[in-house]
Amino acid sequence: MGFSADRLQCCASTRFIPLDGLLSSRSLEETVDYLAEELAEKAEEYLHETSLTPSEYEALKQSIAELTPIFTTERAYFVLGSYGRPEIHRLQLVKDRLNRRADTYAFLIVDIRSEWVNTYLKFRILADYTDYIVGVTEHDQGGFLIEQGYFTVLKEYFAKTYVLKREYESVSSDEVDTGVNLEKLYSGMQTAIFDMLWDVDRSTAGLPKKS
């Protein structure tokens, strides 16, 4: 099955902050402060009640400008996958395909360049505010393996997660460009997640070919 952005069907928005409504009743500065407080509360929750330092709080506040497209487009897609080569090229293709849709913002975690406290916090906040989480998986050798565990533990993430799984049935060993072991493509944990998502029609086979 080839990749199709239409498989990622539109559902009710899961964003927490209606930015347009905030801007209509608050100044831009007030809106930034409001969002900064929201992010700080989430940060302390995810960091197990550890208070942010003043510099960490300012860094979160400065990152809000980068998050604006997530709040102001109809659909925001957080695309996860391997950043190795050549996998990164196919990850970019998925992002670009999704961004062809009207009023859509698809992004990778590296597109949000602000320095946050740590990668875990960055992932959690981006996953909270995005409408869809799209995982692109080609093997069990890295990528977003840790994040896949969150999909099963956190119901709010599972509800908006789609996985695009690469299949190798029609690919010869000479055509495989990732060094993957064709006898053991995916781990048991990954296979269980694929099955769970397949049951609710949110796991697809196939990836776009590299152009």
Calpha distance 102→5 (Å, rounded) = 12
Taking only the tens place, the pLDDT of each residue in 49-62 is: 677 788 888 888 88
Fold (topology level) of 73-205: Rossmann fold (3.40.50)
pLDDT above 80 (res 188): no
pLDDT above 80 (res 103): yes
Taking residue 34's Cβ as centre, other Cβ atoms within 10 Å add up to 15
Calpha distance 139→129 (Å, rounded) = 27
Average pLDDT over all residues of the chain = 76
Taking only the tens place, the pLDDT of each residue in 23-35 is: 444 555 777 778 8
Calpha distance 56→41 (Å, rounded) = 13
| 122 closest CA partner among 8, 84, 160, 130 | 130
Contacts (Cβ under 8 Å, ≥6 apart) of 145: 187, 189, 190
pLDDT above 90 (res 198): no
**Strand runs labelled E in 33-181:** 75-80, 104-107, 132-137, 161-165
Q: Where are the domains of the chain?
A: 73-205
Q: Please state the pTM of the whole predicted model.
A: 0.77
